Chain A
Amino acid sequence: MIEVKNLVKRYGTFSAVNNISFEAAPGEIVGLLGPNGAGKTTTMRILTGFMPPSEGSVKVEGFDVLENSMEVRRRVGYMPERVPVYLDMTVHGYLTFWAKLRGMKQPNTQVNQMLERFSLGDRRNKLVRSLSKGLRQRLGLAQALVHNPPVVILDEPTIGIDPQQVIEVRETVRALRENHTVLFSSHILSEVEQVCDRVIIIHKGKIMASGTPQQLAKKYKPGVHLYVSLSGRSQSEIRALLESLPKVDNVREQAAGFVLSSRTDADLRADVSSIIAKHQLTLLEMRLVEVTLEDIFLNIVDKR
Chain B
Amino acid sequence: MRAIRLIMQRELAQYFSSPLAYLIAGAFLLLTGVTFYSDLNFSLGVRPVEPALIPNLLAQVMIVFAPLLTMRLLSEENREGTMELLLTAPVSDGNIVFGKFLSAWAYYTFILLLTLLYQFILVNIALPDISHTIAAYLGIWMYGGAALAVGLLFSATTENQILAAFMATIALLLLYYGDSLGRVVASADLAYILFNLTLQGHYAASFAIGAVRAEDIVYYAGLIVVALFIAIRVIESKRWR
Contact = CB atoms under 8 A, between A and B. Distances in A.
A and B are partners in one complex rather than unrelated chains: yes
Interface of A: 11, 45, 48-52, 70-71, 73-74, 76, 78, 80, 82, 84-89, 93, 97-98, 100-103, 143
- Among B10, B85, B91, chain A packs the most CB atoms within 10 A around the CB of B85
28 contacts: A11-B241, A45-B84, A49-B87, A49-B88, A52-B240, A70-B92, A73-B88, A73-B89, A73-B90, A76-B88, A78-B88, A80-B81, A80-B84, A80-B85, A82-B84, A84-B84, A84-B85, A85-B82, A86-B80, A86-B82, A89-B10, A89-B13, A97-B10, A98-B89, A100-B2, A101-B3, A101-B6, A143-B85
B239 A52 contact: yes
Interface in B2-18: 2-3, 6-7, 10, 13-14, 17-18
Contacts of B88: 48-50, 73, 76, 78
Contacts of A52: 239-240
Contacts of A49: 87-88
B88 to A, nearest CB: 4
A209 B87 CA distance: 31
Given A11-B241, A98-B85, 6 more contacts: A50-B88, A52-B239, A52-B240, A80-B81, A80-B84, A101-B6
B80 A85 contact: yes
- Among A48, A101, A102, A143, chain B packs the most CB atoms within 10 A around the CB of A101
B18 to A, nearest CB: 7
Contacts of B92: 70
B6 A100 contact: yes
Tell me the interface secondary structure of chain B in the complex.
helix
Given A51-B240, A85-B80, A88-B17, A78 B6 contact: no
Contacts of B83: 84
A100 B90 CA distance: 10
A126 to B, nearest CB: 14
Contact of A101 (B18, B84, B89, B240): B89
Q: What are the nearest 6 A-B pairs in CB distance? A: A84-B81, A48-B88, A84-B82, A73-B90, A82-B81, A74-B90
Nearest to B81: A84
Interface string B62-91: 000000000000000000111111011111
Contacts, number: 63
B239 A51 contact: yes
Contact of B90 (A51, A85, A86, A103): A103
Interface of B: 2-3, 6-7, 10, 13-14, 17-18, 80-85, 87-92, 239-241
Contacts of A82: 81, 84
Nearest to B239: A51
A165 to B, nearest CB: 20
B6 A84 contact: no
Contacts of A48: 88
A103 B6 CA distance: 11
A97 B6 contact: yes
Contact of A88 (B7, B18, B90, B91): B18
A98 B17 CA distance: 19
Contacts of B81: 80, 82, 84
A143 B89 CA distance: 11
Nearest to A73: B90
A123 B6 CA distance: 23
Contacts of B2: 100
A297 B90 CA distance: 37
Nearest to A77: B88
Contacts of B239: 50-52
Nearest to A74: B90
Nearest to B9: A97
Contacts of B85: 78, 80, 84, 98, 143
A80 to B, nearest CB: 5
